[in-house]
Amino acid sequence: MRSEAEVMADERVSALVDDLIGRVADKWTMLVLEALEEHGLQRFTQLGRRVPGISQKMLTQTLRQMERDGLVERTVHPVVPPHVDYCLTSLGSSLSEAFCGVWLWAEANLRKVEAARTAFDRRE
């Protein structure tokens, strides 16, 4: 049988996991992750073009967070004009791989979701 301490430890851990999921299951994080995975090392502005709809602010913020979480490596080249590039760490790569299933799901089930939406809206 499991001790009370073990149960409490598990609860703390799953709270942390939920927290991490909350961080990582974010629209921009996923999209940036995908852009970095697909096109490899690239610069800030390139990356921005690869993630349609993102603002520079959210791009900066998302990249900072991903860097802090160890998903992305940021390299500053001390030149003028400034040159900064980003690439996935192995941790970031592994997350991207984990997200692969979601991408496939989205591609495969896009039509079903659209159908469900129109059916739902009609029902209103």
Partner DNA sequence: CTGGATCCCGTTAGATACTG
Partner DNA sequence: CAGTATCTAACGGGATCCAG
Binding site for a second copy (CB under 8 A): 13, 15-18, 20-22, 24-27, 29-31, 52-53, 67-70, 91, 94-95, 97-107, 109-110, 112-113, 115-117, 119-121
Q: DSSP assignment, residue 52?
A: T
Backbone angles phi, psi at 77, to 5 degrees: -95, 120
Tokens of 14: 């799953």
What is the C-alpha R_g of the chain? 19
Tokens of 91: 């941790």
122 binds, among DNA, a second copy, none (CB under 5 to 8 A by kind): none
Q: Does 28 bind DNA (CB under 7 A)?
A: yes
The residues that touch DNA, with contacts defined as CB under 7 A, are: 28, 43-46, 53-58, 60-61, 63-64, 74, 76, 78, 80-85
